[in-house]
């Protein structure tokens, strides 16, 4: 028998290994940690916050059957002929084309010759941002910001984008819009909102003279913080407002980014960062979940991203527009480095080659949302040019994006049990990305919201007038 002191030493050694592994794994599984406390049978909100909700049916009454199409389900499997059955707001079955085992009374839609696929997701949007011709008195006005956001929401939804990750908008606007979409009081894509960007004093988006002249800046979308305690408080402020994730931006100290990431993860939220050069290294070391944009970083940082499973949302298309329209990104202290379209594309390829998981986001500031759906298609075409197959690019836009959002248990693939965010395309987008512009039908949360490329709004249901007290019922 081993001597007790050796057993104790061995136990301490094993515990040390376990603690070390736990600390390392916490940098990988941090967003999943709170799921262990929720039983699978407990209904929760359809967002990364996973707040328990009352049980009961969700979505519209009845069933919708998409019959006779080819199904690209987003899982990575090739497209196949099949029928998709939706009951209320859930996909309940993917049937063989010969089957008719769907609920009696279902609305059956013939989609022969068309492709059925999951709704697209855009991981980088700013719903409230101003346009170049926005009057100064409207730029910081909440009501004007709300109207700007609603116009953008229409463009995204009509382009087949059924979910958007808003990574900085004014005040409470994105949270209010998210709630109204969830309640089906307005038509729009699902909104997963970060709230305000958190940055150091004078950091990205808060850069003095640059901010004053920047045509797409959005007052109220930036939260400047100074010191670890203030960065921690800024995270809590976004969580209190209803944030689905936290967005950080350089500059910051090591202690500041570590404090923010640790607080966000303790609250169960993922963290993404808009940073460059050594700031990306600091953020990855601190445990962020993803990095926005194709900005410069070292080979060591890229290797660390791959090892720690830190995702990338490269957003190539906005920089294409910046260089094509303006010739460069000028007068910003958060862009003090040399870069170009070629350098950005090279970064994309380096990230892919290293095994970093890449998501799809467009960052359509200014008036660039008016380029949709082509802007989104152009981003996917960059993925293909960088080594993705066309089907793999579509998987990135659906399943992978849902994984990065931390809602892959609810969205991203056409799988029984998942939420019914579904597109019907007049063509084969898994063969020709350009066919994504041919939207025939958009279903969001089980409701038909776009028909033949146009928003569909059902008539209101009038409520009977009240009767005088004592009147016959």
Residues 6 or more apart from 416 whose CB is under 8 A from it?
90, 91, 92, 93, 94
The confidence score (pLDDT) of residue 473 equals: 62
Residues 447 and 336 occupy one common structural domain: no
Please report whether residue 48 resides in a domain.
Answer: no
Residues 267 and 230 occupy one common structural domain: yes
pLDDT digits (tens, 9 = 90+) for 231-272: 999 999 999 999 999 999 999 999 999 999 999 999 999 999
Q: CA-to-CA distance for 376 and 208, rounded, in angstroms?
A: 31
The confidence score (pLDDT) of residue 34 equals: 74
Q: CA-to-CA distance for 292 and 10, rounded, in angstroms?
A: 44
Please report whether residue 140 resides in a domain.
Answer: yes
Lowest mean pLDDT among 143-157, 267-281, 296-310, 326-340: 326-340
With tokens 């690209």, the residue in question is 72
Residues 157 and 283 occupy one common structural domain: yes
Q: Where is pLDDT greater, at 208 or 108?
A: 108
pLDDT digits (tens, 9 = 90+) for 345-393: 999 999 999 999 999 999 999 999 999 999 999 999 999 999 999 999 9
Residues 106 and 158 occupy one common structural domain: no
Q: Which CATH number do you get for residue 84?
A: 2.30.40.10
DSSP state of 410: T
Nearest to 124 by CA among 444, 408, 405: 405
Say if residue 130's pLDDT is above 70: yes
Say if residue 153's pLDDT is above 90: yes
Say if residue 431's pLDDT is above 70: yes
Residues 430 and 351 occupy one common structural domain: no
Lowest mean pLDDT among 28-32, 222-226, 247-251, 434-438: 28-32
The confidence score (pLDDT) of residue 373 equals: 98
User: For residues 362 and 129, is the Cβ–Cβ distance under 8 A?
Assistant: no
Residues 139 and 244 occupy one common structural domain: yes
Please report whether residue 180 resides in a domain.
Answer: yes
Range of the domain at 386: 120-405
Residues 79 and 132 occupy one common structural domain: no
pLDDT digits (tens, 9 = 90+) for 280-293: 999 999 999 999 99
Please report whether residue 411 resides in a domain.
Answer: no
The confidence score (pLDDT) of residue 413 equals: 98
DSSP state of 331: S
User: What domain count does the chain have?
Assistant: 3
CA torsion angle 423 352 284 191 (round to 10):
-10
Q: CA-to-CA distance for 30 and 159, rounded, in angstroms?
A: 33
Please report whether residue 470 resides in a domain.
Answer: no
The confidence score (pLDDT) of residue 407 equals: 97
% of residues, the chain, pLDDT over 90: 84
User: For residues 425 and 435, is the Cβ–Cβ distance under 8 A?
Assistant: yes
Q: How confident is the model at residue 200 (pLDDT cuts 50, 70, 90)?
A: very high
Residues 160 and 242 occupy one common structural domain: yes
Residues 6 or more apart from 179 whose CB is under 8 A from it?
none
Q: How confident is the model at residue 32 (pLDDT cuts 50, 70, 90)?
A: low
Residues 421 and 302 occupy one common structural domain: no
What are the C-alpha distances in Å from 104 to residues 60, 63, 238, 264? 16, 9, 46, 47
Residues 210 and 257 occupy one common structural domain: yes
Residues 223 and 303 occupy one common structural domain: yes
The confidence score (pLDDT) of residue 15 equals: 37
Please report whether residue 391 resides in a domain.
Answer: yes
Say if residue 435's pLDDT is above 80: yes
Lowest mean pLDDT among 35-39, 240-244, 369-373, 424-428: 35-39
Say if residue 460's pLDDT is above 50: yes
**Which residues are registered as beta bridge partners of 225?**
200
User: For residues 142 and 128, is the Cβ–Cβ distance under 8 A?
Assistant: no
Please report whether residue 358 resides in a domain.
Answer: yes
Please report whether residue 469 resides in a domain.
Answer: no
pTM of the model: 0.92
Say if residue 445's pLDDT is above 80: yes
- Work out the number of other CB atoms within 10 angstroms of the CB of residue 208: 10
Residues 390 and 310 occupy one common structural domain: yes
Q: Which CATH number do you get for residue 325?
A: 3.20.20.140
Q: What tokens appear for 320 in the block?
A: 């294409």
The confidence score (pLDDT) of residue 96 equals: 97
Q: How confident is the model at residue 31 (pLDDT cuts 50, 70, 90)?
A: low
């Amino acid at each position: 028998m081993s001597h007790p002191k050796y057993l104790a030493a061995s136990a301490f050694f094993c515990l040390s290994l376990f603690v070390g592994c736990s600390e390392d794994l916490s940098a990988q599984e941090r967003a999943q940690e709170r799921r262990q406390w929720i039983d699978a049978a407990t209904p929760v909100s359809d967002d990364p916050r996973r707040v328990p909700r009352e049980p009961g049916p969700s979505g519209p009454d009845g069933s919708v059957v998409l019959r006779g199409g080819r199904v690209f389900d987003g899982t990575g499997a090739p497209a196949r002929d099949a029928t998709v059955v939706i009951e209320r707001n859930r996909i309940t079955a993917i049937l063989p084309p010969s089957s008719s085992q769907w609920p009696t009374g279902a609305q059956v839609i013939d989609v022969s010759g068309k492709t059925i696929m999951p709704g697209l997701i855009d991981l980088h949007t700013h719903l409230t941002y101003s346009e170049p011709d926005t009057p100064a008195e409207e730029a910081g006005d909440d009501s004007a910001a709300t109207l700007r956001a609603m116009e953008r929401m229409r463009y995204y939804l009509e382009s087949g984008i059924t979910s958007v990750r808003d990574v900085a908008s004014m005040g409470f606007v994105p949270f209010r819009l998210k709630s109204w979409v969830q309640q089906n009081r307005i038509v729009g894509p699902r909104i997963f909102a970060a709230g305000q960007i958190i940055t150091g004093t004078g950091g990205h988006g808060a850069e003095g003279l640059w901010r004053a002249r920047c045509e797409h800046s959005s007052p109220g979308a930036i939260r400047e913080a100074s010191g670890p305690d203030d960065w921690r408080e800024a995270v809590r402020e976004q969580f209190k407002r209803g944030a689905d994730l936290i967005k950080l931006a350089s500059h910051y100290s090591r202690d500041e980014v570590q404090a923010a990431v640790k607080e966000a993860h303790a609250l169960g939220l993922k963290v993404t960062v808009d940073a460059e050069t050594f700031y990306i290294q600091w953020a990855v070391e601190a445990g962020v979940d993803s990095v926005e944009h194709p900005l410069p970083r070292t080979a060591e940082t890229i290797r660390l991203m791959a090892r720690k499973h830190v995702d990338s949302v490269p957003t190539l298309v906005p920089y294409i527009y910046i260089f094509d329209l303006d010739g460069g990104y000028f007068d910003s202290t958060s862009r003090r480095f040399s870069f170009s379209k070629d350098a950005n594309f090279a970064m994309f390829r380096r990230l892919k080659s290293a095994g970093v998981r890449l998501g799809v986001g467009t960052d359509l500031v200014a008036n660039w949302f008016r380029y949709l759906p082509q802007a989104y298609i152009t981003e996917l075409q960059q993925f293909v040019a960088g080594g993705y197959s066309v089907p793999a690019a579509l998987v990135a836009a659906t399943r992978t994006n849902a994984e990065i959002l931390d809602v892959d248990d609810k969205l991203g693939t056409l799988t029984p049990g998942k939420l019914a965010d579904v597109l019907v395309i007049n063509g084969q987008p898994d063969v020709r990305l350009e066919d994504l512009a041919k939207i025939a039908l958009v279903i969001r949360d089980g409701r038909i919201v776009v028909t033949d490329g146009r928003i569909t709004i059902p008539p209101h249901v009038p409520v009977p007038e009240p009767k005088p007290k004592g009147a016959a019922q």
